[in-house]
Chain A
């Protein structure tokens, strides 16, 4: 009895180490097969000899000029994607923050129901939801008619097939990705801290910026990342709600990889987009300094 009790700590320590590896194994295997290997082939494709073809085959010739070629041809679409993604993220942040704050602090017993309602749009396909926006924003639809009637829109103005429609579509589609992490962060804030700030001479506005906002930053960071990254890569909204002038980088990549049969350009563009996003995220996280937060 006594012996086994003495031996227990060391033994359970070793057991715990082994358990950790066993628990990690499935994820490591899945990521290895479905992330590392495809990523490797993406890097390889971006360095193909541009003279190749499906028939003749593609050779990895470390042709870094693919990158310059891709940037030269499609920098407009790259920039447009980042702008659309950024604008949609900003709109989501403002709308999502107000919504998450209201659900966390003001909804009382309706809290769970409201959270479910935030997720409800996910029950329908992304594509169907975006297509129905086409109907809503259509030139002869009731939204445009109403806005023309109150003279917010002129008789020749329209909503569908504009930058505005693309950005609103993105904001609509990715809003739940913003709301959920924001809610998780705001809901954790102890309301007594807000009382304390009020007791210490903060009016509601100062109290918000000195206490609520900084404490919700982890949610702000994860929410903006979860919105910005997929919104920047998305091309369904630009395709369905935009026009020929709203082509985004995702669409270019798709066309280059399939119809145009330029896998090296598609791969190089994917790599560039990824580098840009990673760089921006690093700067962003560093600036906000979330590691300082709890």
Chain B
């Protein structure tokens, strides 16, 4: 646990040094300013989607960028020969980017001032969505060597991830959207700013926990297999 805390501290320092915190702060400030000048009454769905895109961006895009920076600097091979376990490395990334997403998401919701607000559901929505996309980001980035290749695979992840928006904005209706984890993310974000049926909240929580568990396992395996290239993945 001590090693995990040490790694979280260094990862937090590194994302600051890489300029990721500055970019996140600028994006958050832009969102906040928009909400200050716009009356969000009746726009709860838009507010939830905007907060949802934040964790997705932090989780997927920023994690991938950070791991690519590290790949470029070959620091993974050094980390692999320290006492830091691989799962701590992965969890540390998830913790740091989830914290960043939490700060950003809470700032946005405060500036949006929704009439209905469930803070616990918002926190759960951000934590479960951000961590899921960190794990998916690590899996994705394990297949590529540089940012150009990463740009090519981004639509493969973000495309399917955005499909539930069709259902969310009542454009297409199908139970199949419930198979896509971002449907569960959207339900939780929506539940934090508007009244939602309880079965939907339970579905979203259970489904995201299950997805997080398997995405974490997949991230650990991908990191070992394709990034530090060991021959034992469990």
| B and A form one assembly | no
Residues of B within 8 A of A (CB): none
